[in-house]
Structure 1
């Protein structure tokens, strides 16, 4: 605690704190413009959306780019799982106004982020340090588990009628 006070006093006397600039106060009654600079208010209720067809296309391009690299087999598994997502879930993923995210949304978002990082990386970077391959495999496995569970639920509901 004493060292923290000493450090703050040292920074204050050295002029470092005087160089720190605080942003101007914001009028919270006015809507915040969107980050894209179009001047429209930012919609804070929108959730992140995923175009599954675009994601599958990106995965396919990455798989083709990787060739015989072992990472390609994980991408192939992910593609096969993404292709089995039901049309209703595809619509849910694309809906920015969905009420809540579920496990599928979380796992597809995770996989999509990792795929995008892999696409941005050079071939050399992918060989040396692939961006979190373990998390990609885990997300892919969780997507598979969601699909199995969802399929079982649908079968159980059909049997009840």
Structure 2
């Protein structure tokens, strides 16, 4: 069975003075035991010391206990087929001249079967979120687009230039 990542929803989000998107991906792996997840994000704006501008950061490695990864964490140790929801709200403050471009690069690599073997199946999903307010603080751009989607069987999924998984 193939490994894949599916976009379940990408809805415009606006609440409590913030706007962006409520997104949910679903990762499906044939063998959850030992499966790996890399949730990479890169923004044109810094968001604290751990999230510098224009740098790919693996959020799963940075904050594995985040609510975003709760279902993935809970399924750890299971064997066989796993379908794991990955919900995220990506937003910024709705204020004058606010803007951000956020790139996603999500990688899932299949785990091992009951015999301890792995066929190296993987899936990659890439997306870009663009958010912008005008000088009056009105929303003028609110886009979420899939920019790449591929699968493979060689155990070596592509990663963004300059990023190396550990």
Confirm or deny a common fold (TM above 0.5): no
Structure having the higher Rg: 1
Tell me the TM-score range normalised by the shorter chain: under 0.3
